[in-house]
Amino acid sequence: MNTLQRRFFDFFAPGARRISFGLALSVVCFLFAFPVLWLILTSLRPQSGVYYVYRGLDFTLDSFAQVFANERLVRAFFNSSVIATAATIFSILVTVSSGYMLSRFRGPIASGWFGAIYALRCVPFVTWVLPLYFVEQRWGLYDSYLGLLLPHIAVHICFFSWLMKGFFDGIDPSMEQAALIDGCTRWGAFLRVAVPSAMPAISALAVLSWLFSWNEFLFALILTGQHTPVITVVMAQFVSEMGMQWNLMAATAVLALVPAFLLTLFGQKYVIRGLKI
Amino acid sequence: MKLKNTWRKTFGEQQRFMLMLIAPAVTLLILFQAVPIFVGGSASFRDWMLYNPKKTWVGFSQYASVLTDPAFLQIVLPNTFVFMFSSVAISLVIGLALALTLNRPFRGQKLVQTILLMPLMVAPVIAAIMVRWMFNDEFGIVNVVLEALGGEGQPWLVQRWSAFSVIVLTDVWLWTPWFTLLLLAGLQSLPKEPFEAAAIDGTTAWRVFRYLTLPMLRPVIIVCIVIRSIDAFRTFDTVWALTGGGPARETELLSIYAYENAFVFLDFAKGSAAAIIGALIILVVGLALYRILDHVRKMS
Amino acid sequence: MIKAKQWAVACAAGLSLLVGSLGSAMAQQKELRIAYQPNPLQEASIDMMLKWGEKNNVKIIKVPNSYGVYVEKMTASLTSGSDQYDVIWHNDDWGQLWAHLVEPLDDVAGLKYADKWSTDPIIFFNKDGKTTVVPMGQTLGALFYRTDLIKESELPKTWKQLVTLSKKLQGEGKVKYGFVGGMDPNSDWNSSLWTLWNNSCDVMKPFGSRDNAVLAKNGWTSAFNEPCMRQVVEFWWDALNTDKISPRGMPAYGRNEANAVFTVGDAAFTVADTTYWSEFNDPAKSKVAGKVGLAQFPIGPMGKNVTLWNELWGWAIPKAVPAERKALAKKMLSDIMLDEDGQLALWKKTGAPPPNAALWSKIAKTDAFMQSLQKYYLDSPHKIHSAYYFANWPAVHKAYNNTVTKAVTGGRSDIPKVLAEGATLVHDAAIK
């Protein structure tokens, strides 16, 4: 639309552009939110109505009550939050330094490391999820917090190192050089100068990392058992060969959504500020 | 002491610092990714049925059996590439459009942004099951709405085109917010001056986008495309929960092929071989993609 | 410096978590660990174990596993010689896969009450001719119908009658569909397979044979080129496309979708595991509660007899378990076979005939559902095993299912071509 057209349009239909923009955006938002809204609606239906959600108007909080009464689910919520939080902290600890290295240095070590990260990212989970089960059994890590936590961190390393590198690329290294000239050690320059200026990126990764770990399914499926049930796996156990308790699954999924939602709500501004590749 | 000396002699001060920086990441990656991948890789050269792991060396015969499987070549690989291409392309376009929209202030911007990020909050498996119900021909809400609007309901999951669209759509829904986030972050870090100058010149929005935003955003877009393509190529759990590769293999992707061989037919070796072939393909494709996109960037 | 400290704290926290989780596993009391998949039948069986454990001062530890990865995880655990579980869920589908990995159980006293058909040597015996399973309950598919719409005397004896009756009910606006049943690879017993067996047909030739030597002698030949198979596929093609007695999306349905359509009252007939009986009749879960009856399978044009299956779910003991715990586990499995109250509770809760077959007639005296189950199913002389018992069966089953799906969703004139291709696929999958 050229300027003339726009003036013409604005003259005859003031606000029309704003309204159509708002309408279009509402439609998009509705489509994006719809599956989640539908999930919430489903979780409120009695068990006889979970498939034909649109037939009948009886709603109940019964499924939520059942979820809260289920000891294993409560434990799973606890475990999931412990693992997601710990995985976030450790992932950031290891990837900040790794990303810094990738950004600040050239040479065979840096390019070798980058190549390794890239290549490992390409391997489908199917190849290594079962061997992971074998090695964890041998190391005595199977069905323990560590046994789930460490692979989560390992998975995050590739992607997050890449993102951290991008962020450090955008920060002028002259500050660190100045610190080095002032007699700071390399570690000092990294910890006192580079890390503080990377806080936006760190908070962004923290949010993403937490969400990924919270929703992670395949590793948890293979690597957990009796001691460390996590929420995605317990949810999936409502599906069995002899039927599915979709109402409970939906209710659990809705409850699992709450912390993720709060985190996104309050964390998104850090994410956007921090994610620069 | 001796070890320490060797360490000091082999690497300079800077190299030692570099190695120390990545040491924890390298350790974790070796233990929990490289070692298992090595085990899986080694299995792909052996006779390794899960119920009877003889583990005898068979050379490349597992690879040969995958590469001569007509289903792998004619169904699985094309499906995987079509899926990767359409999912990445569609989510890139939508993600970019949304990022551009969110990049300027309007009332309710924060609310809209939160809503658009919703797919990131749901466990993908749950989302996939949800979508499966939504597209059911009998009780799915999609057909109910379609029929209410006077359209004709479809048996979505039993026709090739519609089943494939549903899995792509689900993937797009799940991953568009990811594009939006990264691109929005990229947009906000662009320098303001060129845009201000353009505004003073009265340049049209399209020209600003075409000749300013897009070129400046290209590095971010390239990285997004490459990372996302790799992940789309490996997609497993959503499609497995949604169609299981059906109807009759019409939505069977690489990871499903590998998973089915390894864990349903319990032929761990063949499944691993298929997965490693896939890894090599996407490794090359990813690099090529990066080169091509980067080349295009330098040309323009 | 700060970072090193954080590391130390975090590592300590991680370690203490690990130690904590290990520590809780070490208890003083004797204990047995049960690996199962959470569902009503297994829970009911484990309830008996818990009761037994209380009486005998043994701690029973339940370890739930997800269904989707149960077989692969357990198989990997068995071959690695792990003794982390003492009793594991066992099933006819992988009876032969595990025969060499689990303990022979022929010395379990309670086994003499087990149903003979479902403990068939072909399924569960190891190389030495010893059984490796103790049943926990029977699973069989059955035809359910709506008693408020169909009189018992009107029940269809043939597929043709099924179609006619369905069309009549649909025409009268009483139901949307005549028949619904799962058709995806995990539930095609409820559609194509029951019709197959009731048309005197089978997945492989010779029909009805489950003996691997016989199958091998016949060259692992698929039955896809047989007329009986073509009739089956054409029946479903018509049901979906021209007679429209089944939903068009049904080829992608699992059990859950089919049950959803049936329990909301949109279908007159369904085939489902008898374990759904209680769910179909539970007003909280089903809108047709109290209006569901049991009927016999109708037979196809070439069908000679009404044919059905009756397999067991059971328990096994891994070979790697130490002898003392093995003995304890065997004692427990034997004792729960004799736990009459427990088995009656299992029946009430699940609708699965209990593992102690001697109790079936006793239950039938007071229980109408068991009466019809015995009349139509359990006492029937014409049975078939609902799977094959060679290692490539999962691949064969998948090839079979893919072919049927392709045939019923394609053009009707393409059916012979699709079936001919399917014959090759099934054969190749079997001899792989």
Q: What is the CATH number of the domain that holds A158?
A: 1.10.3720.10
CATH assignment at residue B293: 1.10.3720.10
B119 and B234, same domain (yes or no): yes
- Torsions phi, psi of C271, nearest 5? -110, 130
- What are the b/e assignments for C208-241, b being 16+ CB within 10 Å? ebbeeeebeeeebbbbbebebbbbbbebbbbbbe
> Same structural domain for residues A13 and A89?
no
Same domain, B24 and B110: no
Is A53 a domain residue?
no
Q: Is the pLDDT of residue A34 over 50?
A: yes
- Tens digit of pLDDT for each residue in A42-81? 999 988 888 888 888 888 899 999 989 988 889 999 999 9
Residue of A nearest to C280 (CA): A48
Residues B111, B170 within the same domain: yes
Q: What are phi and psi of C268, to 5 degrees?
A: -85, -35
| Sign of torsion over alpha carbons C34, C38, C42, C44 | positive
How many CA atoms lie less than 13 Å away from C432 in the CB half-sphere?
Answer: 26
- Do C66 and A137 lie within an 8 Å CB cutoff? no
How many domains in chain B? 2
Contact assessment for residue B169 and residue B151, using Cβ atoms and an 8 Å cutoff: no
List CB contacts (< 8 A) between B142 and chain C. none
pLDDT digits (tens, 9 = 90+) for A172-185: 888 888 888 888 88
Chain A residues touching B185 at Cβ < 8 A: 204, 271-277
What local confidence, expressed as pLDDT, does residue A11 receive? 60
Please tell me the predicted confidence (pLDDT) of residue A7: 59
How close is the nearest chain B Cα to the Cα of A96, in Å?
Answer: 9
Rounded Cα distance, C106 and C366, in Å: 33
Q: Are residues A100 and A190 in the same domain?
A: yes
B128 and B78 assigned to the same domain: yes
Look at residues A53, A32, A29 and name the one whose alpha carbon lies nearest to residue A41.
A53
Which of B120, B142, B172, B206 best probes binding to A when mutated, by most A CB atoms within 10 angstroms?
B120
Residue A269 lies in a domain: yes
Helix (H, G, I), strand (E, B) or coil at A275: coil
Q: What is the pLDDT of residues A117-147, one digit of tens each?
A: 999 989 988 888 889 998 998 898 888 889 9
* Residues A35, A162 within the same domain: no
CA dihedral C236, C237, C238, C244 (to 10 degrees): 80
Do residue C64 and residue A133 have CB atoms under 8 angstroms apart? Answer: no
Q: Which of residues 146-165 of C touch B (CB under 8 A)?
A: none
> Does A60 fall in a domain?
no
Among all chains, which residue has been given the structure tokens 């590793």? Answer: A219
Cβ contact (<8 Å) for C72 and A130? yes
- Closest chain B CA to residue C95: B51
**Range(s) for CATH 3.40.190.10 in chain C?**
29-138+310-378, 141-307+391-431
pLDDT of residue A242: 63
Q: Are residues A114 and A33 part of one domain? A: no
- Choose, out of A42, A45, A47, A48, the residue to mutate when testing the contact with C (most C CBs < 10 Å): A48
A30 in the same domain as A88: no
The pLDDT score that the predictor gives to residue C66 is 83
Same domain as B25, residue B158: no
Distances in Å between the Cα of C311 and the Cα atoms of A16, B215, C126 are 68, 65, 18
Determine, yes or no, domain membership for A48.
no
3-class secondary-structure state, position B198: helix
**A201 to chain B: nearest residue by CA?**
B185
Domain-embedded: residue B57: no
DSSP string, B243-257: TTT-STTTT--HHHH
Structural tokens at position C189: 């017993």
- Domain membership of residue A55 (yes or no) is no
Same domain, A151 and A198: yes
The stretches of C242-388 forming alpha helices (DSSP H) are 255-263, 277-280, 323-337, 340-350, 359-364, 368-373
Gap between the Cα atoms of C73 and C66, Å rounded? 10
Strand partners, C35: C63, C88
**Residue A52 located in a structural domain:** no
Query: Class assignment of domain C141-307+391-431?
Result: alpha beta
Q: Which of C302, C238, C247 is nearest to C269 (CA)?
A: C247
> Beta strands C59-64 and C134-139: pairing type?
unpaired
Q: Report the length, in residues, of chain B.
A: 300
Rg (CA), chain C: 24
Residue A59, in any domain of the structure: no
**CB proximity under 8 Å: A 137-156 to B:** 150-151, 153-155
User: How far B173 CA sits from the closest chain C CA (Å)?
Assistant: 22
Q: What's the pLDDT tens digit per position in B216-226?
A: 888 888 888 99
- What tokens does C119 get? 């403990």
Task: Identify whether B66 is part of a domain.
Answer: yes
Residue B289 burial by Cβ neighbours in a 10 Å radius (0-12, 13-18, 19+): middle
pLDDT of residue A237: 82
- Rounded to the nearest angstrom, the minimum Cα separation between A145 and chain C is 6
In a domain, B13, yes or no: yes
Task: Tell me if A54 sits within 8 A of B144, measured CB to CB.
Answer: yes
Residue B272 to residue B279: CA distance in whole angstroms? 10
> Measuring CA to CA, which residue among A39, A82, A230, A121 is closest to residue B121?
A39
Instruction: Provide the pLDDT for residue A235.
Output: 86
The minimum CA-CA distance between B160 and chain A, rounded to whole Å, is 23
pLDDT-flagged residues of chain B (< 70)? 1-3, 297, 299-300
Minimal Cβ distance to B272: which of A100, A109, A127: A127
Whether B13 and B131 share a structural domain: no
C255 neighbourhood in chain A, CB within 8 Å? 243-244
Is B41–A217 a contact, with Cβ atoms under 8 angstroms apart? no
Report the top-level CATH class of C29-138+310-378.
alpha beta
Which of B40, B127, B204 minimises the CB distance to A131? B40
Please state, as a whole number, how many other Cβ atoms lie within 10 Å of the Cβ of residue A179: 18
**Does A227 or A84 have the greater pLDDT score?**
A84
A83 and A8, same structural domain?
no
Q: Do residues B102 and B14 share a domain? A: no
Together in a domain, A207 and A150? yes
Question: Does some domain include residue A56?
Answer: no
Whether residue B38 is found in the same domain as residue B66 = no
Q: How many independent structural domains does chain A possess?
A: 2
Coil, strand or helix: which one is B48?
strand
DSSP string, C79-135: HTT--S-SEEEEEGGGTTTSTTTB---TT-GGGGGB-TGGG-HHHHB-TTS-B--EE
What stretch of H or E contains B100? helix B77-102
Q: Does residue B212 form part of some domain?
A: yes
pLDDT along chain C (432 residues), means of 10: 48 48 55 90 94 94 86 89 90 91 93 92 92 94 96 95 97 96 93 96 93 94 95 97 95 93 96 90 91 95 93 94 94 94 92 92 92 91 93 95 96 96 95 88
Whether the upstream peptide bond of residue B191 has omega within 30° of 0, thus cis, is no
Same domain, B39 and B66: no
CA-closest candidate to residue C413, choices C234, C264, C165: C234
Question: What CA–CA distance (Å, rounded) separates C232 from C418?
Answer: 14
Q: Minimal Cα distance from A146: which residue of B?
A: B32
**What is the pLDDT, as a whole number, of residue A183?**
85
- Omega before C353 cis (within 30°)? no
* Contact between chains at C248 and B137 (C-beta distance less than 8 A): yes
Q: What is the value of pTM for the model shown?
A: 0.91
- Asked if A257 reaches chain C (Cβ–Cβ under 8 Å), the answer is no
DSSP single-letter state for residue A190? I
Provide the ipTM: 0.90
Residue ranges making up the domain that contains B151: 62-299
- The per-residue pLDDT of chain A, averaged, comes to 86
**pLDDT at C23 (0 to 100):** 45
* Domain assignment of residue A24, given as a range: 3-43
Residue B83 lies in a domain: yes
**Cα–Cα distance between B159 and B142 in angstroms, integer?**
16
pLDDT of residue C22: 47
Across the interface, whether the CB atoms of C405 and B246 are under 8 A apart is answered yes
Of C190, C290, C312, give the one whose Cα is nearest residue A243.
C190
Among residues C61, C60, C62, which one has the least CA distance to residue C36?
A: C62
